[in-house]
Amino acid sequence: MAWKTYLIMYFGTNGIKPSDTANKLEALGFVTLFGSVDFVYEWKGKVPTKADVLALGDKVASALQGSGAVFNLDTHE
């Protein structure tokens, strides 16, 4: 079973469109899902460390800067 990080988004209203936000996340390697989770990042054969997950969270935060969006990451096998 592969390790994955699931991302749930709460979009902001600071003038940045949800589609633009999704494009930024997809550029980081996330794939859009439908249902209770909005995006998933697959670690592709790697068991992520705490530092790996936090670094990914930092990239997400940078990509969302100024959007007013908030997010939740959930990483597990």
Is there a domain that residue 23 lies in?
no
Evaluate if residue 5 carries a pLDDT over 90.
yes
21 located within any domain: no
Residue 50 in any domain: the answer is yes
pLDDT of res. 1: 78
The pTM of the full predicted model, rounded to 2 decimals, is 0.92
Q: Fill in the DSSP letter of residue 35.
A: S
Is 22 a domain residue? no
pLDDT at 15: 84
Asked if residue 18 is part of any domain, the answer here is no
Strand-pairing partners, residue 4, are: 42, 76
Taking Cα atoms as reference points, which of 19, 5, 2 lies closest to residue 59? Answer: 5
Which whole number is the average pLDDT over 16-32?
94
The boundaries of the domain holding residue 63 are 4-13+28-76
Phi and psi at residue 41, to the nearest 5°: -120, 125
CA pair distance 39, 33, nearest whole angstrom: 5
Helices 50-64, 18-27: crossing angle, 10 deg rounding: 140
Let me know if residue 56 belongs to a domain. Answer: yes
Q: What is the total count of domains within the chain? A: 1
Position 20 in a domain: no
Reported confidence tier of residue 12, pLDDT bands at 50, 70, 90: confident
pLDDT of residue 14 exceeding 90, the answer is no
The whole-number pLDDT of residue 37 equals 95
